[in-house]
Amino acid sequence: MAFLDSIRAGFRNYANFSGTAARSEFWWWVLFTELTGAAVYAITDVAMGDSIFLGSAWALAVLLPSLAVAVRRLRDAAFSWGHLFWLLMPFVGVIIIAILCAQPSAPRPIVLSRTTAKPLAAYGAR
């Protein structure tokens, strides 16, 4: 997934905690939020001194989408969303989540739809 597609998907699915997110979607989202947050903090520091209002507003604005994309990424790597509680541990939690989110996608079972699956055909039914 490309950079801009990841950002669009992050905001479009801002409260979607179901489904999965590819590694590229997650890491492009993290890069976008961190770089934008750093720019907002730097601009407000230069323009207003020690005011952190805009930076805090940005952090709150991307909190829910960031949690949603992290939950979808953990699900894609076959981990439970409960691993996000590691983030409550300073420093170590971020490292653990980064390692978990860097794991490859888990293989998916093939699910046949009703139109393609014909289980009774093996018994001669039509």
**Interatomic CA distance for residues 84 and 67, integer angstroms:** 8
122 in any annotated domain: no
Residue 14, number of CB atoms within 10 A of its CB:
16
Tally of domains in the chain: 1
112 in any annotated domain: no
113 in any annotated domain: no
- Scan for tokens 């996608």, then name that residue: 105
> In 3D, which of 26, 30, 111, 32 has the Cα closest to residue 77?
26
The pTM for the full model equals 0.80
116 in any annotated domain: no
120 in any annotated domain: no
- pLDDT, tens digit, 9 for 90 and up, residues 62-75: 999 999 999 999 99
Range of the domain at 72: 3-107
49 in any annotated domain: yes
- pLDDT, tens digit, 9 for 90 and up, residues 11-53: 999 999 999 999 999 999 999 999 999 999 999 888 887 778 8
